[in-house]
Chain A
């Protein structure tokens, strides 16, 4: 009996021929990504030995530039750590700054067939690179950085075969919301994506999907390798790698087919994305105070393009604050060069520096009691973006942009259709 892609990656990195659901595996960590929260005074424990500094990446993303004294202290501790162990892959505030998962993508730090860990739950993002990437806790990161290994419980895998073509302005965010609405939680299970649609899906689109799989509580989200992936990685990272394809006789818990051509804009209602979405038309007219596009899931150049297409020549409602946050400073610069930033700002959007920002309720757009927001970011838990009595709806960047114009949740097809 064969193995799924993730089972093969875990087998390879644990030195075993075969791993099966139910196994507990100890694997070598190829890349360990530390970020500003890990250096927070209530978390950080001074690391005395680093197993291999070349395997470590350090990023400041959650609260940059430092928004208060505690975050400034965390970043200072982080800089001292980088200096002490000569960490070369360091993304401090400045030109190379960005959200960790987006930087991991832009630099192809996540090598196909390898293991990557980071103490942030959306680390599954790098599964788009055929990488066993998992969010862990801060203690896991101390363990991985000092010992070069970590453990995983192997779950069963659900395979999604993507077919057909997305019709603009429908995006992978809508596909994700469809999966979360239809199939609900994937707790303790892995998700694997493949199918005929892959040649028409950019790395950005794939990463929106894998990032959002954290919201399904999936253990790992992995894309089957293809030429687009291999070309992308080789153009950015000279390191050797061995991508892992699922076996033809791999055993999946379920195998499901998703027709991208049949997808339409969806909106998740507040508090969870699980079994909680509606067609955009069914929630049109719901008043919003804030609209947000950004995060590791939707801060890409594709997302800027989608927002600009909707907002070109339009104005943001005077009742709405539209906040757009790029995934990296590089994306910001490229969005400037392509004219997206000008379109967005002329429409009335605020474009911030690259950071996690409003997504986690950390800074740059906190909601007050009773306010509503529609967001193209990662998570819509109760109180996620501010006051516990605020509401967070979730949609695609196009849906968020259309809603910002109308002042109420709106269908982007009515604007660019």
Chain B
């Protein structure tokens, strides 16, 4: 599984209230999508396109348990890579089916707009302008399977534990 796309850069300690503000917590998924990064990067949600890649710094997604990973998935981003990902946000990436890699040094290796190639097979990240290749932290099979299967809800649904989405 490999993705190539334009990168969008965000910094260290990007928190969940920036990704999905509190006022949007009970909104519909579509309404929540319109609010992504409205405080720190107004207008970005109009600019981001299907298949692009988000590059983050340290402790990406710190903060709340809210479905911020689902909102990022709904932007159409192919995946994200950050120097490190907050533990709770990482759980939400796995469970909402948003592909996310931890790769120390990735923020320094990219300027915004450069093309990246991200492999979820070898867990590598390549800057296609500089050809620099970085090794990311591997993802255990069980979590990788959940992440690529659209998260944990389709699994629970297939086992008859939760009802299909209405």
Please state if B26 and A48 are interface contacts (CB–CB under 8 Å): no
Instruction: Please give, as numbers and ranges, the residues of chain B lying within 8 Å of A45 by CB-CB distance.
Output: 153, 156-157, 162-163, 165
B residues in contact with A46, CB < 8 Å: 162-163
Interface pair A137/B162, CB less than 8 Å apart: no
Chain A neighbourhood of B39, CB < 8 A: 382-383, 388
**Residues of A139-177 contacting chain B, CB below 8 A:** 139-140, 142-143, 146-147, 151, 153, 155
Interface mask (B48-86 → A, CB under 8 Å = 1, otherwise 0): 000000000011001111110100000000000000101
**Of the residues B15, B59, B91, contact of A137 by C-beta under 8 Å:** B91
A185 to B85, alpha carbons, bound, how many Å?
A: 12
A135-B26 contact given A382-B17, A383-B17, CB 8 Å threshold: no
- State whether A360 and B22 are in contact (beta carbons under 8 Å apart), knowing that A137-B96, A388-B39 are contacts in the complex: yes
Q: Is the CB of B152 within 8 A of A217?
A: no
Q: Are B21 and A383 in contact (CB under 8 A)?
A: yes
Task: State how many angstroms separate the Cβ of B63 from the closest Cβ of chain A.
Answer: 6
A336 at the interface (CB under 8 A from B): no
Is B1 interfacial (CB-CB < 8 Å)?
no
Give the distance in Å from the alpha carbon of A140 to the alpha carbon of B63 in the complex: 16
Residue of A nearest to B29 (CB): A42
Q: Are A217 and B151 in contact, CB atoms less than 8 angstroms apart?
A: no
Contacts of B114 in A (CB 8 A): none
* Given A42-B32, A48-B162, A382-B18, also A139-B140 (CB < 8 A): no
Task: State whether B29 touches A362 (Cβ < 8 A).
Answer: no
A-B contact count (CB 8 A): 141
Residue A228 lies at the interface, judged by CB distance under 8 Å to chain B: no
Chain B residues within 8 Å of A136, by CB: 65, 88, 91
Across the interface, do B163 and A361 meet the contact criterion of CB distance under 8 Å? no
Asked if residues B62 and A140 are in contact (CB atoms below 8 Å), the reply is no
B122 within 8 A of A: no
Assembly CA distance A291 to B29 (angstroms): 33
B66 (CB) vs chain A CBs: closest residue? A37
| CB contact list, A348-385 vs B, under 8 A | 360-362, 379, 381-384
Known: A42-B32, A137-B92, A146-B162. A361 touches B23 (CB 8 A): yes
Closest beta carbon of chain B to A178's beta carbon, Å: 19
Chain B residues within an 8 Å CB radius of A42: 26-29, 32, 67
Contact of B67 among A137, A143, A362 (CB under 8 A): A137
Say if the beta carbon of A121 comes within 8 Å of chain B. Answer: yes
Inside 8 A of B135's CB, which chain A residues have their CB? none
Q: Is B130 an interface residue (CB 8 A)?
A: no
Complex Cα distance, B19 from A393, in Å, reads 21
Nearest to B68 among chain A residues (CB) is A137
B69 contact set on A, CB distance < 8 A: 137
Question: Is the Cβ of A187 less than 8 Å from the Cβ of B84?
Answer: yes
Q: Chain B residues near A49 (CB, 8 Å)?
A: 160-161
Write out the residue numbers on chain B whose beta carbons fall within 8 Å of the beta carbon of A382: 17-18, 39-40
- Chain B residues with CB below 8 A from A106, complex form: none
Instruction: List residues of chain B with CB within 8 A of the CB of A138.
Output: 65, 67
Would A153 and B18 count as touching, CB distance under 8 A? no
* A120 CB–B CB distance under 8 Å: yes
In the complex, the answer to whether A185 meets B13 with C-beta atoms within 8 Å is yes
Q: Does A333 contact B (CB under 8 A)?
A: no
B63 with A47: CB separation less than 8 A: no
Chain A residue, CB-CB nearest to B90: A153
Contacting pair A362 B25 (CB below 8 A): yes
Task: Check: B95 CB closer than 8 A to any chain A CB.
Answer: yes
Q: Is the CB of A40 within 8 A of B161?
A: no
List chain B residues, Cβ under 8 A from A383: 17-18, 21-22, 39
The answer to whether B152 touches A143, judged by C-beta atoms less than 8 angstroms apart, is yes
Please pick, from A40, A137, A219, the residue contacting B95 in the complex, using a CB distance under 8 A.
Answer: A137
Contact with B along A74-89 (1 / 0, CB 8 A): 1000000000000000
- Contact pick for B153, options A70, A120, A139, A155, CB 8 Å: A139
Q: Could you tell me which B residues sit within 8 Å of A by CB distance?
A: 13, 15-18, 21-23, 25-29, 32, 38-40, 58-59, 62-67, 69, 84, 86-88, 90-92, 95-96, 140, 142-143, 151-153, 156-157, 160-163, 165
User: Could you list some 14 contacts between A and B, CB below 8 A?
Assistant: A24-B140, A42-B26, A48-B163, A63-B26, A136-B88, A139-B153, A140-B95, A151-B142, A153-B90, A185-B62, A274-B13, A379-B17, A381-B18, A382-B39
| A-B residue pairs, 3 tightest by C-beta | A388-B39, A139-B95, A46-B163
